[in-house]
Amino acid sequence: MKLSPLQIARYQYAPKLPGILRNSVSEICVKDGAPTASVADQEKIRALFPNTYGKNEITFQKGKNASVDKKTVVGVILSGGQAPGGHNVICGLYDALKATNPENVLIGFKGGPSGLLDNDFIVFDDEYINQYRNTGGFDIIGSGRTKLETQEQFAVVAENCKKHGVNALVIIGGDDSNTNAAVLAEYCAANNTGIQVIGCPKTIDGDLKNDDIECSFGFDTATKTYSEIIGNICRDANSAKKYWHFVKVMGRSASHVALECALQTQPNICLIGEEVAAKKMSLAQITDYIADSVANRAATAGNFGVAIIPEGIVEFVPEFSMLIAEINELLAGAKADAFNALPTWAEKYAFIEAGLTKEAMAVFAILPRTIQQQLFLERDPHGNVQVSLIESEKLFSEMVKDNLAARKAAGTYNGKFAPIHHFLGYEGRCAFPSNFDADYCYALGYNAFMLIRYGYTGYLSKVSNLSKPAEEWVAGGMPITKMMNIERRHGADKPVIRKALVELDGKPFRYFEEHRAEWAVETAYVYPGAIQYYGPSEVCDQTTKTLALEKG
């Protein structure tokens, strides 16, 4: 495999650990915090997790290690979508294991949770691990989206772990993956399998966070990668002065990525789904808001601009959510076959018009035809609209185009509008991790071993105080059940980790809100440039704007 000069150099980077984890393992002890309770539905969660609920939060501090030194065999999986830094979690876990006892073993199960079920694995050694230090991607063992949620699956996992003498499993994933980790931990505890389960918080969407988990790993690198591209687009827009760029970014359930990219680049428009939902904004209101910026800039700065659109924006628009719900009902069961059998769009349109309520049809009718047809593309496994397939950046640019045409006919607008569309998604998922993510992820892996060493299960590896230099980071753990509530999933009540949405009264959004009127009209772009790995700390080790504002 031919290596780039950057990859060779990154192999040599030594991630920075929290000060406490720089001590010998024999000099690290546990400080108990307060008992915990779930974020909601406490009695229901307690009943579902009798063996792992209500445990104390803990932090590590300097002192005599009271744990028993024994050979440890740990299994690890990567679960869900890729996020920069995943390799370093595994490297940190491996280094902690080997530093404690060279006889300790780390087994990587391939392809995500399915590797645990299929007993598809690799035993890590120095030569293999060293190829992946400080690199992006999940190719060290691959990932997958198989859910671990049935008793039969848990029994298979326990049996496969028994074959290898595995004492503990580390599950590196997002909210769903860590929910699965909590359920698996409860099963292992209830059945005395002798297997501990530890989770690590991963997702570039940024929606796995709370007072304890200040930031999920990968968010820093992904948003810096997107912001570099958006900054380049801003500069191109300001150079050509004739295009409006509509940039869709990752984030279906929350708008953290869009907000962070806006804070870094200061575009003319950035939609925040949580605000749209809170204000019950209609498609027409959102269109007017964007068109106002286009018109005002045409009269002052010129016929160009940049708008950031979160991937899941349409799900936050109440009238659009109503439309999707009715379409899901309209095409339920055999009715979908009848619809799909119709040969022309005109006949399908008539079928839709006859099946929707007057209110839903009014929303459907104002959509561009391409978007109308996207609503009836391939369904998900549950027969529902795949909202991720809707090109919301094109939806709003088309609606703005029609809005501006009406203004031009009324004599209130005389500019030009030439939209260009972008979707930034996969570009950020496997980037070389920033120094922050390289350090944070390595610390999460190293810390996960400390939780295993002290016998914890059902815990999330927790590293906090992240807005400070790494020396001041605080290492510890928290029960995963603390983040859980009950939600309705597929017709049944399920315990799940609550997704963190953008807080409209939080400092990051308030800062954005205070400045966006200025950015909408003026050309105030910031060009953050590429991620820097070498140079002054204030350039190379900076955190996200979101974290800096939150921790102020």
Q: Would you give the distance in Å from CA 150 to the centre of its chain?
A: 25
Round to the nearest angstrom and report the end-to-end CA distance of the chain: 44
Tell me, letter by letter, the H, E, C secondary structure of 408-441. HHCCCCCCCCCEEEEEECHHHCCCCCCHHHHHHH
CA-based torsion, 183, 184, 185, 187: positive or negative: positive
What is the rounded CA–CA span in Å between residue 403 and residue 294? 11
3-state secondary structure of 91: helix
Measured between alpha carbons, how far is 185 from 203 in angstroms, rounded to an integer? 21
What sections of 67-112 are H helices per DSSP? 86-100
Q: Are 40 and 486 in contact (CB under 8 A)?
A: yes
Residue 392: which residues within 8 A CB-CB, separation 6 or more? Answer: 248, 309, 311, 313, 314
Query: Does residue 185 sit in helix, strand or coil?
Result: helix
Spell out the long-range contacts of 318-321 with Cβ–Cβ below 8 A and sequence spacing 24 or more: 318/277, 318/280, 318/282, 319/282, 319/283, 319/359, 319/363, 320/283, 320/363
Biggest alpha carbon–alpha carbon distance for the chain: 80
Nearest to 226 by CA among 197, 251, 192: 251
Interior angle at CA 488, CA 485 and CA 493, nearest 5:
75
SS3 493: strand
As given in the structure block, the two tokens for residue 488 are 């309705």
* 3-state SS class at 439: helix
> Tokens in use for 247?
């940039």
Catalytic site positions: 205
Is the distance from CB of 138 to CB of 84 less than 8 angstroms? Answer: no
What does the alpha-carbon distance between residue 393 and residue 372 come to, in Å, rounded to a whole number? 14
Cα–Cα distance for residue pair 313/123, rounded to 1 Å: 43
